[in-house]
């Protein structure tokens, strides 16, 4: 991880704006504002080269680099680096979440009902790629699938490691279960 003062400054400015949006209350509309602000940050594409965020060899294919977080565990911004493929079953986040593309494609499916209300049913499919993004309220359920590698922002209202176990749909047993995040997470704040 290379120290990059210009990147740190751009990230700090974005997160300051996102804090202010969050302060006014989390609604579908405010998550949309957060999404737009993150796209603006992603547009400074040269600040986030793939070389600075290499995917780890181990794990399930997805590596998270933490690039900003408050001392109270709020407002966590990660760069997610996927070498080839990764996927996650339908799950919620227990906090707001935004995914914004830098490189490659991440297929996101949204589901109709909150966790615990029967089997998930797809409502929408959206491909996150450079210049686009998707936002979620704490109860929204989505699944992701990457093939061919990707580099994205994953931003959450709260530190993933500090959150309680999220809800996910286990297709094998056909029931909702809970799990902690399994990806390797590197603290890349400098
Ligand atoms: Fe997610």
Q: Is the pLDDT of residue 23 over 80?
A: yes
DSSP string, 38-88: HHHHHT-GGGS-GGGSPPPSSTTSEEEEEEE--TTSEEEEEEEEESSEEEE
Q: For position 85, what pLDDT does the model report?
A: 93
**Separation of CA 4 and ligand 1 centre (Å):** 28
CA of 125 to the centre of ligand 1 (A): 14
Contact 94, 140 (CB under 8 A): no
Tens of pLDDT along 88-134? 999 999 999 999 999 999 999 999 999 999 999 999 999 999 999 99
Task: Find the 173 Cα to ligand 1 centroid distance in Å.
Answer: 21
pLDDT score of 21: 98
pLDDT value of position 1? 60
CA distances, 162 to each of 2, 11, 113, 136, 188 (Å): 26, 21, 25, 19, 17
Q: Calculate how far, in angstroms, residue 95's C-alpha sits from the geometric centre of ligand 1.
A: 10
Interval 145-161: pLDDT, tens? 999 999 999 999 999 99
**% of the chain at pLDDT higher than 70:** 98
Ligand 1 centre distance from Cα of residue 163 (Å): 13
| Distance from C-alpha of 123 to C-alpha of 181, rounded to nearest angstrom | 24
Is 3.20.20.140 the CATH classification of the domain at 5-187?
no
Question: CA 159, CA 72: separation in Å to the nearest integer?
Answer: 9
Ligand 1 centroid to residue 3 C-alpha, Å: 28
Q: Would you place residue 59 in the very low, low, confident or very high pLDDT band (cuts 50, 70, 90)?
A: low
- Stated pTM of the model: 0.96
Q: Which residues of 84-115 are buried (b: 16+ CB within 10 A; e: fewer)?
A: eebebebbbbbbbbbbbbbbbbbbbbbbeeeb
Residue ranges covered by each domain of the chain: 5-187
Per-residue confidence band for 162, with pLDDT thresholds at 50, 70 and 90: very high
Q: Which of 21, 39, 41 is nearest to 31 (CA)?
A: 21
What is the distance in A from the centroid of ligand 1 to the CA of 93? Answer: 6
């Amino acid at each position: 991880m290379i120290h990059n003062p210009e990147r740190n400054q751009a990230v700090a400015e974005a997160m300051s704006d996102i804090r202010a949006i969050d302060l006014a209350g989390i609604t579908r509309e405010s998550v949309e504002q957060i999404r737009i602000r993150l796209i603006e940050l992603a547009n400074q594409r040269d600040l986030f080269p793939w070389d600075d965020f290499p995917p780890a060899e181990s794990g399930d294919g997805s590596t998270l680099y933490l690039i900003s977080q408050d001392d109270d565990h709020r407002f966590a911004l990660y760069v997610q680096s996927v070498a080839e493929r990764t996927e996650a079953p339908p799950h919620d986040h227990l906090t707001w979440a935004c995914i914004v593309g830098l490189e490659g494609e991440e297929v996101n499916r949204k589901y109709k009902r909150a966790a615990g209300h029967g089997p998930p049913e797809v409502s929408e499919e959206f491909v996150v790629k450079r210049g686009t993004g998707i936002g979620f309220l704490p109860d929204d359920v989505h699944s992701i699938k990457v093939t061919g590698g990707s580099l994205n922002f994953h931003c959450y209202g709260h530190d993933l490691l500090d959150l309680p176990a999220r809800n996910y749909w286990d297709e094998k047993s056909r029931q909702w279960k809970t799990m902690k995040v399994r990806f390797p997470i590197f603290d890349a704040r400098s």
